[in-house]
């Protein structure tokens, strides 16, 4: 394939986690178009027969009527740029995709078929329906302009439409291969190869490439004790870490702390770094796989001079486990950003209080790449009516305003169905009378959120129930070292 920016180059980059530690191009910015309530948009939500939650549906940038019917513009972007993710809970009508100012659509098909990737020679894992949420993770690249329009016979069909569309700008001097349906349909082999790679990495119990087999070191850690499981001089990068034990109880209360070049940037439970609950349920995702009492982390973690990882036993019993760490030499100039992961605990939140939680506020240059959320709600009603709100450099307006908690994680309608996908998942749901526990993860590799000076990731925590709820959150991001921040 050519070295220009294309669906191929962007999907290849998304499957290589080392690209997340590379510099953020000053010209690359992200924003979202969504159906969330917006006074600058045209509202059709008032036509709906009922009000659902906080009315994050039925808002459009433009409504036109022609011989085809009612044309609702979901999003319009000036290029060069790329649509990185499209989601809907209830796709309706015909989706028409216009690229680079062409009067005729490059693609026209049922919106649901578009989100399921039915225009691709192989749809999975690019277009999927997971727990009632329709998701398309396939780059729609354009050089000048991109517009997504839904056409229906009657306006009322749009009144309760939910949608989210993520977009990134591309450098103005980038060589662009715009979205072209004919060439994509002819590239079955390349699309299949990348899809298989994403799936294979997600299932790997360790790194995909084990050419440098590491030493396996066993540890016996008493309650409250901390041990050093990694300490090396740089420049190097960790490709993967695997924890293996006889039982999950040896791993589910371990706490990980990582220090790169004298700065502690990782402080989180092992299970949240793997995207699961303390029960360590099995899961398959691009950065982490849990298979029984084995946890593999594939986050790319570079350091220039010194890398150090500590592991603490927060349980009430001794824990015995083995650790393997895969490393590679690292070019400091090529990978200046460092892997960060935090842990935040919010207890006894009241769903009706309109809580807005700041998961992370970062300074300097970087990109947000993942969120793991565990919720314990003392209610049998839906706890996740709030939206994700992300600020990227601009303090006056958020770059991203989503349409609901489950929508950010790629499902819909409060579904309790468990699912796994390379980029997202709901790994466990426990429901009982007056109780609802969920664990979710979302990894943004194709649609990462770049910031150049300042970034802030927030989530509204409110729902339909009346019982209190606890939120445990770990955010993942790549950011400049402290010495490089203003």
| Structure confidence by residue, pLDDT tens digits, 342-394 | 999 999 999 888 899 999 999 999 999 999 999 999 998 999 999 999 999 99
**Whole-number pLDDT of residue 237:** 96
Residue range(s) of every CATH 2.60.120.1390 domain in the chain: 7-203, 217-338, 340-484
**Whole-number pLDDT of residue 1:** 35
| pTM over cut 0.85 | yes
What value, to the nearest 5°, has the Cα angle with vertex 318 and ends 312 and 320? 80
Q: How far is CA 136 from CA 59, 115, 126, 133, 447, in A?
A: 20, 5, 6, 10, 11
**Whole-number pLDDT of residue 3:** 59
**Whole-number pLDDT of residue 402:** 96
Tell me which CATH homologous superfamily contains domain 340-484.
Answer: Protein of unknown function DUF2961 (2.60.120.1390)
CA pair distance 315, 249, nearest whole angstrom = 9
Specify the CATH number for 7-203; select among 2.40.30.30, 3.20.20.70, 2.60.120.1390, 2.30.110.10. 2.60.120.1390
Residue 177 DSSP label: -
Specify the CATH number for 217-338; select among 3.30.200.20, 2.60.120.1390, 3.40.50.620, 3.40.50.720. 2.60.120.1390
Instruction: Grade residue 53 by pLDDT with cuts at 50, 70 and 90.
Output: low
Q: What is the 3-state secondary structure (H, E, C) of 231-275?
A: EEECCEEEEEEEEECCCHHHCCCEEEEEEECCEEEEEEEHHHHCC
Tell me the average pLDDT across 113-135: 96
Assess whether pLDDT exceeds 80 at residue 210.
no
Burial of 229 (0-12, 13-18, 19+ CB in 10 A): buried
CA pair distance 352, 422, nearest whole angstrom = 33
Note whether 367 and 24 are within 8 A (CB).
Answer: yes
Mean pLDDT of the chain: 95
Q: How far is CA 474 from the centre of its chain?
A: 12
Instruction: Grade residue 2 by pLDDT with cuts at 50, 70 and 90.
Output: very low
More confident site: 234 or 35: 35
């Amino acid at each position: 394939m050519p070295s220009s920016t294309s669906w191929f180059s962007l999907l290849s980059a998304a499957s290589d986690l080392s690209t997340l530690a590379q510099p953020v191009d000053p010209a690359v910015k992200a924003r979202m178009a969504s159906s969330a309530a917006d006074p600058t948009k045209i509202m059709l939500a008032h036509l709906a027969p009922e009000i659902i939650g906080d009315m994050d549906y039925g808002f459009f940038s433009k409504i036109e009527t022609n011989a085809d019917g009612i044309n609702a513009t979901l999003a319009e972007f000036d290029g060069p740029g790329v649509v990185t993710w499209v989601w809907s809970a209830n796709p309706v009508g015909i989706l028409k995709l216009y690229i680079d100012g062409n009067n005729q659509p490059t693609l026209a098909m049922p919106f649901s078929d578009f989100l399921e990737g039915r225009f691709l020679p192989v749809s999975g894992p690019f277009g999927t329906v997971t727990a009632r949420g329709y998701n398309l993770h396939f780059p729609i690249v354009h050089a000048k302009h991109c517009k997504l329009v839904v056409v229906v016979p009657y306006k009322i069909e749009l009144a309760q439409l939910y949608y989210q569309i993520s977009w990134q700008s591309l450098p103005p001097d980038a060589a662009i291969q715009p979205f072209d349906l004919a060439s994509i349909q002819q590239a079955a082999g390349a699309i299949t190869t990348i899809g298989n790679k994403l799936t294979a990495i997600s299932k790997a119990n360790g790194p995909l490439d084990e050419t440098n087999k590491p030493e396996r070191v066993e540890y016996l850690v008493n309650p409250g004790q901390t041990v050093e499981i990694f300490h090396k001089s740089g420049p190097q990068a960790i490709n993967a870490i695997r924890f293996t034990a006889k039982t999950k109880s040896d791993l589910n209360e371990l706490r990980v702390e990582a220090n790169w070049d004298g700065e502690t940037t990782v402080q989180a439970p092992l299970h949240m770094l793997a995207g699961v609950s303390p029960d360590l349920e099995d899961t398959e995702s691009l950065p982490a796989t849990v298979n029984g009492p084995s946890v593999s982390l594939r986050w790319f973690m570079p350091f220039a001079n010194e890398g150090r990882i500590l592991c603490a036993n927060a349980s009430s019993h001794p824990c015995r486990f083995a650790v393997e760490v895969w490393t590679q030499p690292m070019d400091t100039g090529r990978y200046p950003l460092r892997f960060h992961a935090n842990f935040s605990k919010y207890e006894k939140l009241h769903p009706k209080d309109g809580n807005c939680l700041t998961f992370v506020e970062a300074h300097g240059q970087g990109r947000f790449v993942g969120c793991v959320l565990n919720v314990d709600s003392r209610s049998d009603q839906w706890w996740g009516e709030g939206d994700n709100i992300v600020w990227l450099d601009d303090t006056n307006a958020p770059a991203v305003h989503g349409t609901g908690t489950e929508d950010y994680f790629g499902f819909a309608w409060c579904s309790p169905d468990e699912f796994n996908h390379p980029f997202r998942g709901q790994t466990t749901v426990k429901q009982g009378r007056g109780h609802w526990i969920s664990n979710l993860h979302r990894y943004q590799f194709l649609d990462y959120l770049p910031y150049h000076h300042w970034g802030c990731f927030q989530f509204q925590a409110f729902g339909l129930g009346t019982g209190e709820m606890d939120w445990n959150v770990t955010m993942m991001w790549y950011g400049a070292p402290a010495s490089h921040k203003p």
